[in-house]
């Protein structure tokens, strides 16, 4: 892992990513606390997720086509400045009458984020050799998950002993520090030629490109299914805070096994995936969905918190492993000319699936309870995993016949 950090551009991207993830983890639990205080409804968690994800999804549809002719460094700097200002405004919202302002700020923050993620992906591909990208993605995911462990533990401590509101100010400060790190990056206007082709033409070309490359399309469909299954997390808030009547700090502490699962995924995938080859990775992707499904079922049908935490750990390991392998596969399959468009459309599809899933499970848990809804979610995940495995096996058989 240390070799990838010797690259000066990636090192700064990595450092900026670490800093803003630290802030994000402080803010996430604070937003949960704010929604709980202002509305007291479990459905507000799902609504908050939709207000975050829907603008992200819509903006992601066109952000990639716009980014192609822009300096990626400048985009990331401007976005972090705007996010720092917007997040700080949560601190001042104290009464239910301004619940609408919480949702508005969530919308604006995530519109900005829809430009940051594709720009970050293009910057990584431009600065990291193809053979080193699995290592880079594993390092980013592993570090992010480790920060979840540390920061959620600290955030839970701050929530328990102080007001969660100070977390918003910490997040804003992290965005500004990340901005300062990005200021010293070289220009990242792209290795691709700037084009005078119209925006809508570029957008249509990006969609057509995905449609005509079956492997890219299949990876995107897989990630949509994984994100639908990942909506269990929004139901976990309802389960802990409403059904079990636990404190907000307990929900924060449960993010520790979630983060540990991501760390383990980063370590295991970085050492195993390249040696496994396409066949081994395809098999692992299918079984990862099945493992996630069984873990989700275990979370919401267990009594002791410790058992729930263990199920969360296994679920996180499977989810983060699949994400690392799928993103690396997508980076390798996509032509540089279409990279920004493919990754922005990916964000739209995956986060759109997550938002829809959150709304379904949030509403379902409110009406029917998390036990029943989690059973349906687990069945969906098992079916999706088996379909992927059958499709991968069919592709392998077709290759044998061709030979």
Show the tokens assigned to 11: 């090192």
Phi then psi dihedrals of residue 68, to 5 deg: -55, -35
pLDDT for the residue numbered 94? 83
- Does the structure show a pLDDT above 60 at 330? yes
b/e 52-85 (16+ beta carbons within 10 angstroms → b): bbbbbbbbbbbbbbbbbbbbbbebbbbbbebbbe
Residue with tokens 């990006």: 206
Q: Write out pLDDT tens, residues 237-255.
A: 778 877 888 776 777 677 7
Q: Write out pLDDT tens, residues 36-91.
A: 777 765 555 556 666 667 777 788 777 777 777 778 888 889 989 999 999 899 88
Distance between CA 164 and CA 161 in Å, rounded? 9
Show the tokens assigned to 115: 């430009």
Show the tokens assigned to 214: 């079956």
Q: Write out pLDDT tens, residues 344-365.
A: 888 888 888 887 887 788 778 8
pLDDT for the residue numbered 286? 92
Show the tokens assigned to 196: 């005078």
pLDDT for the residue numbered 52? 67
pLDDT for the residue numbered 192? 47
pTM of the model: 0.70
SS3 198: coil
pLDDT for the residue numbered 188? 62
The stretch 308-318 carries a mean pLDDT of: 91
Show the tokens assigned to 345: 């459309």
């Amino acid at each position: 892992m240390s070799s990838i950090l010797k690259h000066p551009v990636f090192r700064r991207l990595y450092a900026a990513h670490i800093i803003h993830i630290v802030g994000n983890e402080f803010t996430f639990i604070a937003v949960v606390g704010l929604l709980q205080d202002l509305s007291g409804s479990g459905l507000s968690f799902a609504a908050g997720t939709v207000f975050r994800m829907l603008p992200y999804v819509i903006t992601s549809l066109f952000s990639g086509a716009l980014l192609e002719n822009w300096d990626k460094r400048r985009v990331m700097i401007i976005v972090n400045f705007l996010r720092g200002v917007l997040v700080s405004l949560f601190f001042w919202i104290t009464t239910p009458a301004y619940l609408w302002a919480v949702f508005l700020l969530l919308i604006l923050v995530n519109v900005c984020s829809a430009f940051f993620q594709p720009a970050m992906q293009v910057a990584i591909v431009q600065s990291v050799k193809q053979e080193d990208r699995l290592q880079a993605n594993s390092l980013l995911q592993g570090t992010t998950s480790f920060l979840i462990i540390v920061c959620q533990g600290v955030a839970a401590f701050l929530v328990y002993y102080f007001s969660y509101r100070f977390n918003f100010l910490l997040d804003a400060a992290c965005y500004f520090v990340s901005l300062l790190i990005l200021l010293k990056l070289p220009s990242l206007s792209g290795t691709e030629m700037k084009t005078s082709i119209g925006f809508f033409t570029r957008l249509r070309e990006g969609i057509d490109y995905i449609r005509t490359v079956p492997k890219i399309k299949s990876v995107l469909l897989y990630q949509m299914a994984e994100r639908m299954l990942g909506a269990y997390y929004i139901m976990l808030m309802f389960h802990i805070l409403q059904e079990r009547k636990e404190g907000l700090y307990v929900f924060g502490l449960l993010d520790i096994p979630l983060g540990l699962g991501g760390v383990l995924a980063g370590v295991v995938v970085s050492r195993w995936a390249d040696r496994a080859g396409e066949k081994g990775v395809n098999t692992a992707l299918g079984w990862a969905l099945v493992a996630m499904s069984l873990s989700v079922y275990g979370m919401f049908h267990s009594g002791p918190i410790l058992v729930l935490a263990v199920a969360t750990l296994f679920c996180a390991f499977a989810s983060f492993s699949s994400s690392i392998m799928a993103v690396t596969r997508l980076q390798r399959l996509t032509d540089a000319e279409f990279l920004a468009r493919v990754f922005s459309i990916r964000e739209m599809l995956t986060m759109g699936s997550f938002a829809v899933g959150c709304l379904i499970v949030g509403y379902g848990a409110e009406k029917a309870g998390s036990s029943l809804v989690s059973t349906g979610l687990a069945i969906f995940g098992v079916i999706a995993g088996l379909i992927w495995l059958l499709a991968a096996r069919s592709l392998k058989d077709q290759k044998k016949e061709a030979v």
